[in-house]
Structure 1
C-alpha cells in the first residue's frame, strides 16, 4: 500500500472511536471515548429471531422492545457475520422482581458450527426484589463449553432505571468488554489457549428468555409470571466490524484480521477499580473448579484478595463448589450456561 493512500486512511479514521490503521497486512485499534461511532437503525443491522409480537420496533428503528411472558421470550440477530470489530448497544433492563429472567447481548456461530462453536457474551441474570441485576461475561472458542470462563459483577448503577451502553471489542489478539465506555474485562489470546479463543466469524444476538433452572441462585428463585411481561429495551446500535461473506467465507475488511486493541493507561486504572470493587466471581481464582488457572489468566493480588473476602471457600481453599452445564431450548435463547452460582 502506498504512503499517500495510508495518509488518507489515517485522516479518514482518526475521527472514529476505533481506528483501523492499515499497514502492510497488520493494523492497530485505538479506543477514544471522546468520539462516537455511527449509530444505525435496527433494520439496517438486525432482523427478528424469535418471539413474534414479543419483539416491537419503535421510533423508526431506533428503539426495540424484547418481551418475555408465559408464552415465549424474544430475540433478534444481525444480518451479517463478522470476524472482529466493535459492537455495542444501550440496554434498559426490566425492573422489580426479575429472578430467573435472562437478557443477553452476545456473539455466536452456534447455528453454523454445532460442535465447535465460538461465543462472546454479555448476560444479565435477573434477581429477587430489592437486589440489583447481576451481570456476567463469558466466552468460548471452538466448542470449549465445558471450560467456562465466566466473570460476574455488581454494577455501580441500577440497570433497570435507565439505558446504559454495553460493548464488545473483538480482535484476533484480545477481547475487551465495556460498560458505559469503561473497560471491565480484557482477555488476551495466548498461544497455549489453542482453539479456545474465538476465531471464526460470528453473528450478533440479543435475547430475553426464561432461565429459571439456573440463573438466580442456581434455580432457587424462578421466573414469577405474575410480574410479566418483562420488557428489555435496546437502542443506539453500533456495528463497526469486519463483515464476512457466508458463502465464500471471505472477510471484507482489508487486513482488520491482524489487529491489536490497546487500553489507554487511564482506562486501565478504571478497569482495575471496577474489578476490585464490583467483580463477584472469576473463574481464574476459583480453586475448586480449576486447581491451575487457565492459560489466559493474569492473576492480580488485589482481585484475589477482594474475592477471597467475599467467598473464602471458593477463593481460599476451594472446598465448596457447585457447577455443571444445563442446556436450554432454542425458543428460550438457545444458550448453554454454567450453573455455578
Structure 2
C-alpha cells in the first residue's frame, strides 16, 4: 500500500521494551454467513473484543474519525478533504486480528477500505504486509475485495487474489480476520476461511516474519480502484463512512526494534497455534472450496504471464486451474454472472507492477 509511506510519520511511538503479553481469550464472537448448508462451517472463535482505547490510536485525519460513546465502535470517514485511518497501539509477533466492518453504501466508485497488517514504518525497505482491501464500485454494482501478501519488501512479487462476495457488505457488519503464525496464514470472512497460505521453506524471506502493526483505513483510490481508474470518487455524496466494531488483536506484543525477539513469545506463539482459528477443519476446507470456486475471479497462482513458474507456496488445484486463463483471470464460461444484487461487475486495476488482475 503506497499510502502507508505517506502517513508513516504520523504513527505512534513504539511500545516499551518490556511489554510482552498475550492478550487473553475470554468471550465468543460469532458471525454468520448465508452459504449453502452443505458447506457451512460451524466454528466459532473465542476472542476478546477490545475498546478503541485498548487497541488502536489515530493514524491520520483524526477529524474524520468518530468513536462511539462506549468506545467499542469507530467510524472512519472519507470526504473531499481527506480519508482517515487508525493503527494498533502495539506491534505483534504473529497473531489473530479481526474486526466487524460495515462498508459505505451507494456511490462507492474509487473508494478503498482496507484492513491489514504491515511494518513499513519500521522496515521501510524490507517490510511485510498482509492485506484485505475492499474496492468500491459504480452505483448498483457490488463491492469487490482482494487479499494480498508481501514479505521482506517483495512488492514486485505480490500474492494477490480477487473475489466477489455472497452478501452485500454495506447492509450489515461482517467479520473479517487475518490469522498469521509461523506455519500458515488464513484469511477469513465471518467464519469462512477463504484463503490459506502455507509457509513453504522455499519462500525464504517472502513469508512475513517480522513484527507488524494492524491498520484500518478508508481512502480515495480514484486512480485505479474502479474500472481501471475511469470511475472516480463522487464527493457530491460525501461523507463516505465505514464502521469498525468487535476489535480483536491477539498475539505477542513486542518492540520491533529488538534485534532478537524475546523468548517470552515462544509460549505465546504455541498458544496461538493451538487456538481454534489457527486451523481449518475438514468442513472449513469444504467451505473454502465452495467460496473460491464460486467467487474468486483472479489468482496469481494461475497467472503464468506474471509467474511462468508458480511461486513455491502455490498449491495448484485442478478445479481452480480449469477456471482461469494463463493470465489468472476467469475463462468466459466461468464469468461471474451475479451477486447479492444480481449485477455483473467488471473492473480492472493496474497499480505499478504489484497487480495485474481485472474482473
TM-score (ref. length: structure 1)? 0.82
CA distance in 1, matches of 2:112, 2:356: 13
- Determine whether 1:56 maps to 2:71: no
Q: Pick from 120, 142, 145: which aligns with 1:132?
A: 142
CA distance in 2, matches of 1:143, 1:50: 23
- Determine whether 1:311 maps to 2:323: no
- Determine whether 1:239 maps to 2:249: yes
Aligned to 1:180: 190
For residues 153-183 of structure 1, the C-alpha deviation after alignment (integer angstroms, 9 at most, x for no partner) is 1111000000000001000121000000110
CA distance in 2, matches of 1:105, 1:50: 15
CA distance in 2, matches of 1:323, 1:128: 15
CA distance in 1, matches of 2:71, 2:125: 35
**Structure 1 residue 79 displacement after superposition:** 0.6
Q: Are the aligned partners of 2:162 and 2:357 in contact in 1 as well (CA < 8 Å)?
A: no
For residues 71-122 of structure 1, the C-alpha deviation after alignment (integer angstroms, 9 at most, x for no partner) is 0000000010001111100000001011110000000000001110000011
The gaps in structure 1 that reach 5 residues or longer are: 1-11, 18-30, 316-321, 327-335
Aligned to 1:33: 43
- Determine whether 1:278 maps to 2:295: yes
CA distance in 2, matches of 1:277, 1:90: 23
- Determine whether 1:89 maps to 2:99: yes
For residues 275-319 of structure 1, the C-alpha deviation after alignment (integer angstroms, 9 at most, x for no partner) is 011101100111222222111100111112233496339x9xxxx
Q: Are the aligned partners of 1:16 and 1:32 in contact in 2 as well (CA < 8 Å)?
A: no
CA distance in 2, matches of 1:198, 1:35: 24
Aligned to 1:267: 284
Q: Are the aligned partners of 1:146 and 1:325 in contact in 2 as well (CA < 8 Å)?
A: no
- Determine whether 1:77 maps to 2:87: yes
Distance 1:211 1:323, change over 3 A: closer
Q: Helix, strand or coil for the counterpart of 2:76?
A: strand
Q: Pick from 44, 63, 68: which aligns with 2:54?
A: 44
Task: Indicate the larger mover: 55-64 or 181-190.
Answer: 55-64
**Structure 1 residue 338 displacement after superposition:** 2.8
Aligned to 2:165: 155
Q: Are the aligned partners of 1:120 and 1:139 in contact in 2 as well (CA < 8 Å)?
A: yes
TM-score (ref. length: structure 2)? 0.78
Q: How does 1:85-234 map to 2 (within 5 A)?
A: 85-234=95-244
CA distance in 2, matches of 1:188, 1:337: 21
Aligned to 2:11: none
**Structure 1 residue 246 displacement after superposition:** 3.9
For residues 126-155 of structure 1, the C-alpha deviation after alignment (integer angstroms, 9 at most, x for no partner) is 111111110100010000000121101111
Q: Are the aligned partners of 2:298 and 2:329 in contact in 1 as well (CA < 8 Å)?
A: no
CA distance in 2, matches of 1:295, 1:140: 14
CA distance in 1, matches of 2:266, 2:310: 36
Task: Indicate the larger mover: 31-40 or 271-280.
Answer: 31-40
Aligned to 2:355: 338
For residues 34-85 of structure 1, the C-alpha deviation after alignment (integer angstroms, 9 at most, x for no partner) is 3521111011000011112101101321111100011000000001000111
Distance 1:302 1:244, change over 3 A: same
**Structure 1 residue 225 displacement after superposition:** 1.0
CA distance in 1, matches of 2:140, 2:26: 45
CA distance in 1, matches of 2:295, 2:349: 22
Aligned to 1:288: 305
The gaps in structure 2 that reach 5 residues or longer are: 1-23, 30-40, 335-347
For residues 257-287 of structure 1, the C-alpha deviation after alignment (integer angstroms, 9 at most, x for no partner) is 4675421111111111110111011001112
Q: Helix, strand or coil for the counterpart of 2:97?
A: strand
Q: Helix, strand or coil for the counterpart of 1:160?
A: coil
- Determine whether 1:299 maps to 2:316: yes
CA distance in 2, matches of 1:247, 1:206: 23
